[in-house]
Amino acid sequence: MSKNHPSPGTFPARSFALIAAGLMAVALIGVTFAWPGVAERAESNSTDGSIPSSDEEKNALSIHQRVQQLESTLERTLKIQGQLLELVNELNSKVDPTSEDQSTRHVSATPPPREHRQQHHNRAVDRFQRQREHQIRTLTEAGFSHERASFIVDRQERVYYEQMQLSYQYRYLEDKTSQEARDLQEKIHTHSNPRRVLEQELSSEEFDRYLEAYGGRTEFQIGDLLEAAPAYQAGLRPGDKIIRYNNQRVFHMGDLRSQVYQVAPGENVAVEIQRDGSSSTETIYIPAGPLGIRG
């Protein structure tokens, strides 16, 4: 989204207002700090009760001159203040010609006008529409028809909504140990990523094409294993790929770890693999639990 910036040679009116306020503050602070000391010394000399000497008369005269000088400075400061305010108002009228001429600008706590809210809404809608069209174009370039690509994009958005519905139901479920709670947890996990839902709803060919369109991995490649772990003992080696674990697609280590925890101990799990250098897949069986794969 583009932002509006002042053109070269211009300066926002708000910045001028801040400069004016700063100059006025500096001048008034100087007068404020200087005045008490002068007034105090003048009062001390006038109420002392002693007969002033020639030096004291000179000091009194000097104080009187300084007071006059401060009064003159204050008068000039107020004059500069008025000039700066006039300058700010003039700049404001140039920035917003429809605004009224006011000596002081106040920050408004009222909501923006309706037309501004409508413009913001329209920009958000346009941004969403552009994003949707880009996703559809990406899928059509991968070989999907426009109708099928539109369905997939809309389904992705629907999955996020369904995941929120499931999470809401689970939150207010009284018995979190019930079978209903376990079923909801499994559905929430599936809907946490549209890819898992689309894997069940698209054909195998469509799903692989979908992954390739978005640059996703279609399998998980083993980097290293522990020799004493079940995966190594089952014949898996670095470079082999895991396609499915317990009939669920595996794309990265997070998927594999999540699926491992879904199977109870004591069972043998079907694992679809592809050997390094082979184009075909095979299924092996490994005891449930951590496999000893290190990426």
pLDDT at 68 exceeding the cut of 90 = no
Q: CA 199 to CA 201: how far, in whole Å?
A: 6
* 27-31, 80-84, 119-123, 172-176: the lowest-pLDDT one: 27-31
Q: What pLDDT shows up at residue 103?
A: 46
The sign one gets for the Cα dihedral 178, 184, 190, 192 is: negative
**Residues 212-228: tens digit of each pLDDT:** 888 766 678 898 989 88
Of 163 and 54, the structure prediction assigns the larger pLDDT to: 163
Q: What pLDDT shows up at residue 251?
A: 80
pLDDT at 288 exceeding the cut of 60 = yes
pLDDT at 84 exceeding the cut of 50 = yes
Q: Any idea which residue has 């211009």 for tokens? A: 10
Sequential DSSP letters for 9-55: T---HHHHHHHHHHHHHHHHHHHHHHHHHHHHHHHHHHHS-SPP-HH
**Residues 12-57: tens digit of each pLDDT:** 545 545 555 555 555 555 555 444 544 444 444 444 444 455 555 5
Q: Which two tokens stand for residue 187?
A: 């559905």
**Residues 105-138: tens digit of each pLDDT:** 554 556 667 777 777 777 877 888 899 899 999 9
